[in-house]
Amino acid sequence: MAIPELQVCNLSKSFPSATGQTLVLDRINLHVQHNEFVCMVGASGCGKSTLLSIIAGLESPTSGEVLLDGRRVEGPGADRGMVFQGYTLYPWLTVECNVEFGLKLKGMAVAERRERTQYYLEVVGLTKYAKALPKQLSGGMKQRVAIARALANEPQVLLMDEPFGALDAQTKGLMQEFMREIWSRTRTTVLLITHDVEEAVFLGQRIYLLSSCPGRVACEWTIHLPDERTYALKHTERFQRLKLEVLDELRAEALRTSEKQP
């Protein structure tokens, strides 16, 4: 197997509590290969967002490490792009100014950053909204801007924290198809976390399931579905069988967790 682009090695995370230390993540090991789309699922409170924050360099692990191309992650860096559930756009800036914001901070020449901004606006289908303000956009369009902004920095790995969780069901489905199209076009390495099993099966090439209290890697699946994925795929027997398999394991983990509670 090729050396993974992203590796999480024996990583644990504890937080101070009234009783001393609470273990949130316990000896996590996972990897994402170059150009791979990996999803991570788990119940609320299993530590998914904490793990993503550590990979992004926003928090430090208690033990273990994160490696990007063999280099230890010590803090935030332009090699990792981040997309959150909230759109985190600057409301006073136009769409194109939001997308080029990070490029401007990096000191990129005006002509180059304008060219790159226009390219990624075209990738996300928002060229004609370049001069619009975020308040003039729908939720799905705002998230497209956030994705374009992250991609414009051309990170090695795109980290996504439940990016479609705030959208209505119809828009969410459209955004999932859109995300697959973007990934097929750019082949950016992606690690996306979600509590939506259907979303994970539709988007991912592989899925990790995190158990709760503390978070541990409980299962891993390789998703053998066509690269070209449309809404119709969700209604096939093969897709439903994969979805049910992951849901059954997620339910079993939830039951095991509830049995451990006092």
Has residue 150 got a pLDDT over 60? yes
Q: Which two structure tokens, joined as six digits, stand for 230?
A: 């449309």
Of 242, 225, 239, 147, the closest CA to residue 185 belongs to 147
Has residue 13 got a pLDDT over 70? yes
Nearest-angstrom CA–CA distance, 58 and 75: 6
DSSP string, 120-153: HHHHTT-GGGTT--GGGS-HHHHHHHHHHHHHHT
Tracing tokens 């075209």 back to the chain, one arrives at 122
CB-neighbour burial class of residue 54 (10 A; exposed 0-12, middle 13-18, buried 19+): buried
- Which residues is 17 bridged to in the sheet? 20
Of 4, 30, 52, 58, the closest CA to residue 207 belongs to 30
Of 180, 209, 204, 175, the closest CA to residue 192 belongs to 204
User: For residue 252, how far is the Cα from the chain centroid?
Assistant: 24
pLDDT digits (tens, 9 = 90+) for 22-59: 889 999 999 999 999 999 998 877 888 899 999 999 99
Q: Do residues 164 and 87 make contact, with C-beta atoms less than 8 angstroms apart?
A: no
pLDDT confidence band for 20 (50 / 70 / 90): confident
pTM here is: 0.92
Tracing tokens 């005006």 back to the chain, one arrives at 110
pLDDT digits (tens, 9 = 90+) for 215-242: 899 999 999 999 889 999 999 999 999 9
Q: CB-side exposure of 72: number of CA atoms within 13 Å?
A: 8
Q: Write down all domains in the chain, each with its CATH number in brackets.
A: 6-79+155-260 (3.40.50.300)
Radius of gyration of the chain (CA): 19
DSSP state of 46: S
Q: Do residues 40 and 192 make contact, with C-beta atoms less than 8 angstroms apart?
A: yes
pLDDT digits (tens, 9 = 90+) for 124-137: 889 999 999 999 99
Q: Do residues 144 and 125 make contact, with C-beta atoms less than 8 angstroms apart?
A: yes
Q: Do residues 113 and 100 make contact, with C-beta atoms less than 8 angstroms apart?
A: yes
Q: Which two structure tokens, joined as six digits, stand for 142?
A: 């705002």
26: Cβ contacts below 8 Å, ≥ 6 apart = 12, 214, 215, 216
Has residue 257 got a pLDDT over 80? no
